[in-house]
Amino acid sequence: MTLPLLSALERYLDVLRVERGLSSHTLSAYARDLQSFTDFLDTHDAQVASDVKLLQPRHGLAYAVSLSGRKLSLRSQARMLSSLRGFGKFLRRENLVPSDPMAELILPKIGRSLPHSVGSSQIEELLAKPDVTTPRGARDAAMIEVLYSTGLRVSELCKLALVDIGPGFVRTVGKGRKTRMVPLGQRAQQALDHYLRASRPVLLGVRQSPSLFVTHLGKAMTRQGFHKLLAAYGRAAGISELHPHLLRHSFATHLLDHGADLRAVQTMLGHADVSTTEIYTHVAQSSLRRTYRKHHPRA
């Protein structure tokens, strides 16, 4: 029995969505990476499209060589090949092929860059920029305070509902549909209380919404919308190219700078593997070294 390559790809994406609980954004990234591979096959060996069993290791290796000849970063090449390796493992696991056709793929080695963060004084300047006497300004201030206080991903922030807010914590559903509870700082709680009391009712008017953060149209704030307003506040505070993930990095770095436990930070960030969180310790250590060289008389 033959199975067209496209059908196999659709089954793989279904598994990623249902079993791994990946977001639509992440699924779209997988789909784009795998579409790039099928486009390559259309040019180099079109008959593979008729039967996934025709996939051979040479196809994956030729594709890897073609990527290296394109103007792509090593990180992009590694991501695209990783998507393809996952597809190969799926084919073998489901007994759709006699052996994994992508087992010989080797990902390019890339150095792990340290995440950037914003200094505490810059954070203070940023938080002072929204005009909290206006409904939109109060909302913006609450969103920025909550983001910096909790280290949420921007998608998690925008998906927060009223029922997710408790006394001193927020509940969020992260990657893999895993629920976690994150502490909410006092200043963030105050900004949130002000927004809920004086701003959100004005933005909604007569409308109803389960979403915590809403626009003047009564709809939930989008990732793109928040990204734009945050960048504007960043420019006003002298922070170029400010984006939500930079505040997430700052949240983790500042906690570790002040002695927080690595495992606790891992839990708050929602990292499945502590090794993902460990990169922030290098940032904290760099900060300590700079402080030592600046202040120690024999540094």
Catalytic residues: 153, 175, 245, 248, 271, 280
Q: DSSP label at 205? A: T
Could you tell me how many residues make up the chain? 299
Q: At what angle do helices 186-194 and 135-150 cross, to 10 degrees?
A: 160
Contact 158, 213 (CB under 8 A): yes
Identify the bridge partners of residue 53 per DSSP, sorted by sequence position. none
Q: Which of 72, 62, 75 has its CA nearest to residue 110?
A: 75
Tokens of 71: 């103007």
Contacts (Cβ under 8 Å, ≥6 apart) of 167: none
Q: Which ranges of 4-134 does DSSP label H, i.e. alpha helix?
A: 5-18, 24-44, 57-68, 74-93, 120-127
Contact 107, 241 (CB under 8 A): no
Q: Backbone phi, then psi, for 218, in 5-degree steps?
A: 85, 10
Contact 57, 102 (CB under 8 A): yes
Which amino acid, residue 146? V
Contact 33, 79 (CB under 8 A): yes
Contact 55, 48 (CB under 8 A): yes
In three-state secondary structure terms, 154 is helix
Identify the bridge partners of residue 182 per DSSP, sorted by sequence position. 170
Contact 213, 142 (CB under 8 A): yes
The tokens 């998690």 sit on which residue? 156
